[in-house]
Amino acid sequence: MAGEKKLALISVWDKRGVVEFARGLEEFGFEILSTGGTARALAEAGIAVKEVSEYTGFPEMLDGRVKTLHPKIHGGLLFRRDMESHRAQAAEHGIRAIDLVCVNLYPFEETVARPGVTPAEAIEQIDIGGPSMIRSAAKNFESVTVVVDPDDYKDVLAEMRAGGGIPPRETRMRLAAKVFAATSAYDANICAYLEGIGEGGAPVSFHLRGALKQTLRYGENPHQEAAFYAEPGAPSGTMGASRLLSGKELSFNNILDSDAALNVVREFGEPCACIVKHNNPCGAALGEDIREAFAKAYAGDPLSAFGGVLGVNVEFGPDLAKDVASGDRFLECIVAPAFASEAVEIIANGPKWGKNARLIEVGPIGRPGMPPFGKDVKKVSGGFLVQDADRFPDAEREWAELKTVTKREPAESEWRDLKFAWLVAKHVKSNAIVLVKDRAVVGVGAGQMSRVDSVHMACRKAGDRAKGACMGSDAFFPFPDGIETAGAAGVAAAIQPGGSLRDKEAIAAADRLGMAMVFTGIRHFRH
């Protein structure tokens, strides 16, 4: 109505920056409507506030469940300023235009993430009024500015100052899109929680959610557009929570390979280094310290390691940085829980490639054997497949169920190498064969259509190092030829799931060759 102040409605759970934002709105002559704790916070800061209940003439009720669900609120948000009939109806019912809405929602996701939270506590954190208001405002973005992210406050005020008190249309539309992204993710969290506390089984729907973390120059190939999205709440120790400390921007393939290296080293509590090339580990090792682990990992296949991605499961320190920067080594990326500042300087100012090498800090990676965050999702045409991450439900029980099936038991050192080979093999593309010696990978066979071809490849890579090595296979040997090929190369012991119709033939071949062989009873395919 003519002569009336513009109205802004502010009601936020996350009060970060809201006082400063409200002060900025006052500069443009806004009258502030608010509720509950937000109204108190603004009033205590000396900002003139009118309670929504005073404005609507209807009190908050049902323990705050009903406070903004009122025609004077939603009518003020939704009526079209360019339609005479809408303006007339608003005037008839005493509905003022609400020109700006600043709302963020109850912390449902944070609540359900707390240990021991009850369903009753979770349900009380399902926001009703907040999503309703911001959706109304977003629908009418032609006339209403809606802000749901405190990180946008500064830019919105700057654009209002530049535009005479109104952000440009393209900004209002962008902010409206952000609303529907926020409410979509919010509803998906609620849906997942309620289905999760139900009777179990596969949920009737599955929601992929992510916030844009980085646009990429291109995807796997230059003609493919690509971007990197982080899942909401991605925890420490994941690529979603990573920070780029130094080097060029990450590429699509850098992110994939860094994640692959990270998933190998997170398997182990001892210092571990892994070098990945084209999404497969070409070198991996354990050591008394991380420098020893790196030296052994790089020596596993120096040719393939050139231009690869290095992952470690401990802080990347200056001594390791000097090792990495020495000689003719070249690494595209290094991913670690943390980097010492001196180590960053050594890499960035060291070898010619150092200033471009991506140094990726992910934070603590948790206890050994923990799977990657969330579900494993693989896209297929017209849909996607969803499965649990590949982690045996009880790691100790997995080891306890190992069974020697040959006449010869593995020696103590062979047991150590077999276990290491088994955990690395689960991260190699099937058919996966990994040869290990002294807890270091010396040969890998990956992605072959025939398992015996993978054995040939791994033995060729290992060369003389195959003698006395231990072999890990992600799935059973359908024929004894894989065991025979490994034995001919000097492999001393093997670990595999078992379960083939020709297990007896494979066992007999191992016995003839003097090999020890262990069955695990589970497999680790990785397509």
What architecture (CATH level 2) is domain 235-361? 3-Layer(aba) Sandwich (3.40)
Mean pLDDT of 433-447: 96
pLDDT tens, residue by residue, 111-164: 777 788 788 888 887 878 888 888 888 888 888 889 988 888 888 888 888 877
> 10 Å Cβ neighbour count for 408?
16
pLDDT at 63: 61
Beta strands 280-286 and 272-277: pairing type?
antiparallel
Least confident of 21-25, 211-215, 217-221: 21-25
**Among 6, 50, 86, 278, the one annotated catalytic:** 278
Domain ranges of the chain: 6-196, 235-361, 395-519
Are 235-361 and 395-519 the same fold in CATH? yes
Question: What is the number of helices (H) and of strands (E) in the chain?
Answer: 20, 21
Least confident of 11-20, 202-211, 498-507: 202-211
Two tokens at 521? 């009873």
Residue 26's contacts (CB-CB under 8 Å, 6 or more residues apart) are 32, 47, 48
CATH number, domain 395-519: 3.40.140.20
Kindly state the percentage of the chain with pLDDT values over 70: 93
Query: Hey, is 517 helix, strand or coil?
Result: strand
pLDDT at 1: 46
Residue 72 CA, distance from chain mean position: 42
- Nearest CA-CA partner of 404 in 477, 511, 483, 501: 511
- d(Cα 40, Cα 221) in Å, to the nearest integer? 54
35, 64, 95, 97 from 60: Cα distances, Å: 9, 6, 19, 21
6-196 fold: Rossmann fold (3.40.50)
| Phi, then psi, of 3 in degrees rounded to 5 | 85, -10
Query: Hey, is 92 helix, strand or coil?
Result: helix
pLDDT at 91 over 90: no
pLDDT tens, residue by residue, 10-33: 888 888 888 888 888 888 888 888
**278 is annotated as an active-site residue:** yes
pLDDT at 414 over 60: yes
Mean pLDDT of 378-402: 76
Two tokens at 332? 């595209």
pTM of the model: 0.79
Give me the DSSP letters along 133-180: HHHHHHHTTTT-EEE--GGGHHHHHHHHHHTTSS--HHHHHHHHHHHH
**74 is annotated as an active-site residue:** no
pLDDT at 210: 81
Cα angle 382-387-388, degrees, rounded to a multiple of 5: 160
SS3 content of the chain, % helix, strand, coil (to 5): 40, 20, 40
State the first-to-last Cα distance of the chain, in angstroms, to the nearest integer.
Answer: 64
Half-sphere exposure of 521 (CA within 13 A, CB side): 9
Confidence category of residue 392, pLDDT binned at 50, 70, 90? low
Per the DSSP assignment, residues forming a β-bridge with 51 are: 34
219, 251, 252, 371, 399 from 222: Cα distances, Å: 6, 11, 10, 31, 44
pLDDT tens, residue by residue, 360-373: 999 998 877 665 55
pLDDT at 171: 87
Over the range 326-348, which residues count as b (16 or more CB within 10 Å of their CB) and which as e? eeebebbbbbbbebbeebbebbb
**Among 6, 15, 139, 248, the one annotated catalytic:** 139
pLDDT tens, residue by residue, 253-300: 999 999 999 999 999 999 999 999 999 999 999 999 999 999 999 999
Query: Hey, is 242 helix, strand or coil?
Result: coil
Least confident of 137-151, 189-203, 437-451: 189-203
Mean pLDDT of 393-404: 70
